[in-house]
Structure 1
């Protein structure tokens, strides 16, 4: 999919002001409303923008403890383990991995003591052979996408310039 500077500016503006309307966005970006709407539709249909929902802080909901659990899964039990973990509300994210474990879970809990309850529920499934848990102490760089969006927009601009015979761009 082609991704350019305007796409990047649209995403950055949406991240900064998620409730902005298409008309106001077009005004600020200096492009037609139809252009912004077409870009948004394309970014959504290509999976670049996956949603417009609120960002919720688990700590503000009463779940201030975050941990990661690396799970080793019994051969052939992956689908059953996935289904089990999808049923645990405190499992915020599940990734399959390479390395010492097969899956990595992001968990939240109400306290360190409550984390034990969550871990017991996670590993209390026959398909999980072993688990190793790490508690998050601080999150100095929260999950972020905007620096990557900005880099992708810069990269696409450089690629465009190179295809036009202008050579690589700096900075």
Structure 2
């Protein structure tokens, strides 16, 4: 099944239920020793199972209520430098590299539409950026989640192997 075994999946499920759970609480819940849970957590961390441990904060709370997605088309040879320059813009929250006609998709935050216009202009001024297209975020309809995927993988791991077909 890959790098995760049944115990790893149960540990991830417990963390999905309570992402602030302590190692001791996880050990109690799963019936494992504290050392086992700590070792498993360290293994999962080394295997890059966990994304950022940075606390997610609302840009609204920081005075930036406008969010937008900016599609960016770039000169391919300049992609690494452009990405580095985008990382220097504080309003850029996240950037994904894409296949297809759009090269990068940036999630940005702004104080108001004028500020958003200025952020877009700074992105366009980066040498090698050919074009941008900005879409305002009207609301989040499905937030980042892994619970359904985790449950699907757990269910699949618990299924008995298919019986060999007879000829």
The alignment's TM-score, normalised by the length of structure 2, stands at: 0.86
SS of 1:129 mapped into structure 2: strand
1:166 shift after superposition: 9.8
Give 1:5 deviation, angstroms. Answer: 4.0
Q: CA deviation at 1:103?
A: 1.1
Moved over 6 A (4+): none
How far apart are the structure 1 equivalents of 2:18 and 2:67? 27
Check the 8 A contact 1:95/1:104 in 2, yes or no. yes
- Figure out how many residues of one structure are paired with residues of the other and give that number: 164
Q: What's the counterpart of residue 65 of structure 1?
A: 66
Please give the residue correspondences for 1:25-64 in structure 2 after superposition, counting only pairs within 5 Å: 25-64=26-65
How do 1:1-171 and structure 2 match up within 5 A?
1-158=2-159, 161-162=160-161
Maintained 8 Å contact 1:5/1:154: no
Post-superposition Cα deviations, 1:73-105, rounded to whole Å, max 9, x if no partner, equal: 124111121111010011111111122211111
User: Can you give the 5+ residue segments of structure 2 that lack an aligned partner in the other structure?
Assistant: none
Provide the C-alpha distance between the structure 2 equivalents of 1:52 and 1:12, rounded to a whole number of angstroms: 17
Q: Distance in 1 between matches of 2:13 and 2:122?
A: 39
**Cα RMSD, aligned residues only:** 2.1
User: 1:64·1:111 contact (CA, 8 Å) conserved in 2?
Assistant: yes
Tell me if the contact between 1:3 and 1:152 (Cα under 8 Å) persists in the aligned partners. no
8 Å Cα contact 1:26/1:33 also seen in 2: yes
Q: Structure 1, unaligned stretches of length 5 or more?
A: none
What is the rounded CA distance, in whole Å, between the counterparts of 1:3 and 1:157 in structure 2?
Answer: 12
Q: Report the TM-score when normalising by structure 1.
A: 0.85
